[in-house]
Chains A and B, each alone.
Chain A
Amino acid sequence: MTSTLSAATSDREAYRATLLELARADQRIWCLDSDTGGLEKVFESELPGQYVDLGIAEANLMSVGAALASTGLLPFVNTMAAFASARALEQVKIDIAYHALPVRIVATHSGFSAAHLGPTHHAQQDLAIMRSLPNMTVMTPADAGETVRMVRAAAYLPGPVYIRIGRNAVENVYDEDADFTVGRAVELRSGDDVTIVAAGSYPVVFALEAAERLAAQGIEATVLNMHTIKPLDMPALIKAAGTTRGIVTVEDHSLLGGLGGAIAEAISVHRPTRVLRVGVADAFCARPGTHREQLVAGGVSPEHVIAAARAIVTR
């Protein structure tokens, strides 16, 4: 199925198709909606018995999802990342995470992908928030194909899962079907000088572009797609710390507490290594613009990755 995804397929569309495919095969898989637009067409129309629209009420959505999960169902709850991680946070923390219930939160419009919709719809804190919740698995795919693999893998994980996806299609990172294991990073390129660890669609694309341009400058980078932010792939990070001169992290998330924060926390304990973080500066976005324009303005671009990698190698 992955090979049929065109470059124009968004993670959202890939997710919806996969959810429907999973739900057709397993009646325990439900779709909980919150007026997100589209699921009523692709899901409710075919499987109304496994669909509930809770309206524009994200806090209620999370608690209802928790209770459904407690009865043996496997609900996928749908809202934007901003609302999942902030507005409905206490419900996520207590009703879902504390009870370790198998609710799958699929959060769209992550990072700056809501772009011109502005800071009310941006989600630059959700990785920091969600990974601080005990029991929560936190993942973000690099492209539509990986979204499919991730959603399939998430469906049967034991506890709660947070999957962070974007709004529109970015670029395909994978040509064809690849292996996917929760908690195991994917090495997209190998090099001896520096390791670039990225998570999410633009960050992985930027990491690969930066690696290519660094190679032209004689710097060889390993690129890891760290699609699972929690639990982190420690063996891969320890290996990176041992075989290259440092780690650059790249994310469409605040510099505080996301992928870079997680890696810095872990590596400082297990194998102290230089870690330079490329992420969004600690400020609300001040201007409209496209997803990419806002990332660049916030401090996330191939150029920022290159500068960080050079700083590690030339030190």
Chain B
Amino acid sequence: MTVQAEAVTADLFRLERVALAVRENVLAIGAGPIGTHVGGSLSATDILVALYFDVLRVRPDEPRWDDRDHFILSKGHASAALYATLAERGFISRDELVTYGRATGRLMAHPTLSVPGVEFATGALGHGLSLGVGLALAAQRALRPNRVFVVLGDGELQEGSVWEAAMSAAHLGVGNLTAIVDRNRLQINGSTEDRMALEPLTDKWRAFGWDVSTVDGHDFAELVPALRDAPGGGRPSVIIADTVKGRGVRHLEHRKQGHFAKLSPEAYERALAALRAVA
């Protein structure tokens, strides 16, 4: 192995370790008083970790730094993964995660402005990409360096507003905007293709004027370069990240039942053991 390749491997190993910590905390939140959207948090975890630990130019101690890259979790129901990632990155403390959903805390089940690092309250699906277009446009016109990354659910793409945003992004030529689709192939009622088919998905985005790439959303060796290379040029980019709902916990994977879960103490132990067994 070359020195360079070794460095890359070490870095991927570091991301894997962070992702494991995030997933453990997603499960801990799921075992809390109100449960959480476990499945979609686990499918988005590696995307969030790659962004926050390799790609985004952000300052945890100065969340509103002018030159920051913007991040919007349009599928706001994956708040557990976002909060756990923000905690690993130092925006909030890890200890705060146990306050999720409690009246004494500030962590709601969808992201709110009271959490450092959150720029928009999301949770009503179909808003994030439009917000991303606005941020990207502001930076572009002001000749500022900010880049914008938006994570969308695949079921979320059924909202018509997503396609209004997509059309406008291409028309306005906001090359500093990157969308990442968490393509876990499930929504609440079942498989996206059975309920309201999205395919051919790459063709749709291409037809709307976007640069499109497809990656394994759980392989940092694919995710990281794709995210690094996406921004730039005259067109917005979308990365279709093939993911697994419930990723990391074998008995929750690919299951619509894992969309939302309130884990009993036994279910939590079982899920944690399953997660660590494959890590």
A→B interface (CB under 8 Å): 33, 35-37, 39-40, 53-57, 59-60, 82-83, 87, 115-121, 286-290, 293-294, 297
Number of A-B pairs, beta carbon distance below 8 Å = 91
Name 12 interchain pairs, CB-CB below 8 A, sorted by A: A35-B195, A35-B196, A40-B190, A56-B155, A57-B158, A87-B124, A87-B126, A116-B108, A119-B112, A288-B100, A288-B105, A288-B107
B101 adjacent to A288 (CB under 8 Å): yes
Residues on A with beta carbons closer than 8 Å to the beta carbon of B155: 35, 55-56
Indicate which residue in A82, A287, A289 contacts B124 across the interface (CB closer than 8 Å): A82
Instruction: Check B110 for interface membership: any CB of A closer than 8 A.
Output: yes
B189 adjacent to A53 (CB under 8 Å): yes
CB within 8 Å for A35 and B189 given contacts A120-B123, A289-B102: yes
Shortest Cβ distance from A44 into B: residue:
B189
- Distance in angstroms between the alpha carbons of A115 and B102 in the assembled complex: 10
Instruction: Check B172 for interface membership: any CB of A closer than 8 A.
Output: no
Residues on A with beta carbons closer than 8 Å to the beta carbon of B34: 115-116, 288
B44 to chain A minimum Cβ distance, whole angstroms, is 17
Instruction: Check B160 for interface membership: any CB of A closer than 8 A.
Output: yes
Q: Which of B188-242 contact A (CB under 8 A)?
A: 188-190, 195-196
Residues on B with beta carbons closer than 8 Å to the beta carbon of A53: 189, 195-196
Shortest Cβ distance from A87 into B: residue:
B124
Instruction: Check B41 for interface membership: any CB of A closer than 8 A.
Output: no
- Distance in angstroms between the alpha carbons of A121 and B121 in the assembled complex: 11
B78 to chain A minimum Cβ distance, whole angstroms, is 13
Residues on A with beta carbons closer than 8 Å to the beta carbon of B189: 33, 35-37, 39-40, 53
- Distance in angstroms between the alpha carbons of A121 and B122 in the assembled complex: 10
Instruction: Check B156 for interface membership: any CB of A closer than 8 A.
Output: yes
A117 adjacent to B112 (CB under 8 Å): no
B260 to chain A minimum Cβ distance, whole angstroms, is 8
Indicate which residue in A118, A287, A293 contacts B121 across the interface (CB closer than 8 Å): A118
A135 to chain B minimum Cβ distance, whole angstroms, is 25
Contact with A along B97-141 (1 / 0, CB 8 A): 000111101111110101000000111111000000000000000
Q: Which 9 A-B pairs have the closest CB atoms?
A: A55-B196, A289-B103, A120-B123, A118-B108, A55-B158, A37-B188, A116-B101, A56-B158, A120-B124
- Distance in angstroms between the alpha carbons of A59 and B158 in the assembled complex: 11
Given contacts A37-B259, A40-B190, A290-B103, 17 further A-B contacts (CB under 8 A): A35-B195, A53-B189, A56-B155, A56-B196, A57-B160, A87-B126, A116-B101, A116-B108, A117-B108, A118-B112, A118-B123, A120-B124, A121-B110, A287-B106, A288-B101, A288-B109, A289-B101
Instruction: Check B187 for interface membership: any CB of A closer than 8 A.
Output: yes
Residues on A with beta carbons closer than 8 Å to the beta carbon of B187: 35, 55-56
Indicate which residue in B100, B107, B156 contacts A56 across the interface (CB closer than 8 Å): B156
B23 to chain A minimum Cβ distance, whole angstroms, is 21
CB within 8 Å for A55 and B103 given contacts A36-B188, A40-B190, A118-B109: no
CB within 8 Å for A54 and B196 given contacts A35-B188, A121-B123: yes
Instruction: Check B159 for interface membership: any CB of A closer than 8 A.
Output: yes
A286 adjacent to B114 (CB under 8 Å): yes
Residues on A with beta carbons closer than 8 Å to the beta carbon of B109: 116-118, 288
- Distance in angstroms between the alpha carbons of A39 and B188 in the assembled complex: 11
A120 adjacent to B110 (CB under 8 Å): yes
A87 to chain B minimum Cβ distance, whole angstroms, is 7
Residues on B with beta carbons closer than 8 Å to the beta carbon of A119: 112, 121
Q: Which of B76, B110, B190 is packed against the most chain A CB atoms within 10 Å?
A: B110
- Distance in angstroms between the alpha carbons of A293 and B103 in the assembled complex: 8
Shortest Cβ distance from A120 into B: residue:
B123
- Distance in angstroms between the alpha carbons of A35 and B196 in the assembled complex: 10
Residues on B with beta carbons closer than 8 Å to the beta carbon of A56: 125-126, 155-156, 158-159, 187, 196
